[in-house]
């Protein structure tokens, strides 16, 4: 009988060991589940934003982005209100259409240019227009206020006022007429 008792005790101990190891396994897998919780699904807007950020980080092969940005803004600004076709710009800059599109998107996100979708010769394309016209000193170089002898007495509510100044009126009319002639 002693042998049978020993065997049954051994079996019980083995079962206890098995249950202990099983418990350990369950605890380990539960901990793993806590650690590796699946990420929440991202919305389309979040995914789009991540893609845009990745695109911005990618540089256009070996080109100085600041210099390129300045060049693009200068070319588009010269065209004024008419703008410039995106494809025409890439050809001038000798860029691929892919790089050109990336650059245009980047400039649009920075609010430097506006992209208008236009149907041209049966194909959809984009026209780039400058978002904010750069300010130059040319617009005020001939302003009469810079050389006005009574400028120190000029106030909005005073006897001498920009609202009633004949020099300013003449200057504005001249500027408007010269801009119309240039177009």
Average pLDDT over residues 35-48: 64
Q: How many CB atoms lie within 10 A of CB 84?
A: 21
State the average pLDDT for the chain. Answer: 76
pLDDT at 42 over 60: yes
Integer Cα distance of 125 and 90 in angstroms: 13
E-strand spans in the chain?
Answer: 84-85, 113-120, 123-130
Integer Cα distance of 120 and 85 in angstroms: 10
Average pLDDT over residues 104-122: 90
pTM of the model: 0.44
Average pLDDT over residues 143-148: 86
pLDDT at 22 over 60: no
What is the model's pLDDT at position 40? 60
Which helix or strand (DSSP H or E) is residue 106 part of? helix 97-109
């Amino acid at each position: 009988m002693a042998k049978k008792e020993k065997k049954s005790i051994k079996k019980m101990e083995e079962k206890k060991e098995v249950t202990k190891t099983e418990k350990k396994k369950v605890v380990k897998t539960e901990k793993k589940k806590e650690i590796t919780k699946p990420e929440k699904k991202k919305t389309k807007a979040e995914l789009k934003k991540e893609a845009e950020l990745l695109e911005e980080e990618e540089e256009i092969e070996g080109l100085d982005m600041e210099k390129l940005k300045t060049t693009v803004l200068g070319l588009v600004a010269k065209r004024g209100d008419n703008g410039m076709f995106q494809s025409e710009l890439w050809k001038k800059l000798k860029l691929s259409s892919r790089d050109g599109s990336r650059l245009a998107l980047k400039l649009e996100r920075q609010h430097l240019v506006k992209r208008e979708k236009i149907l041209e010769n049966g194909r959809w394309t984009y026209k780039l227009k400058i978002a904010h016209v750069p300010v130059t000193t040319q617009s005020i170089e001939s302003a009469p206020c810079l050389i006005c002898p009574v400028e120190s007495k000029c106030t909005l509510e005073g006897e001498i006022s920009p609202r009633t100044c004949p020099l300013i009126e003449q200057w504005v009319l001249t500027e408007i007429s010269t801009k119309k002639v240039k177009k």
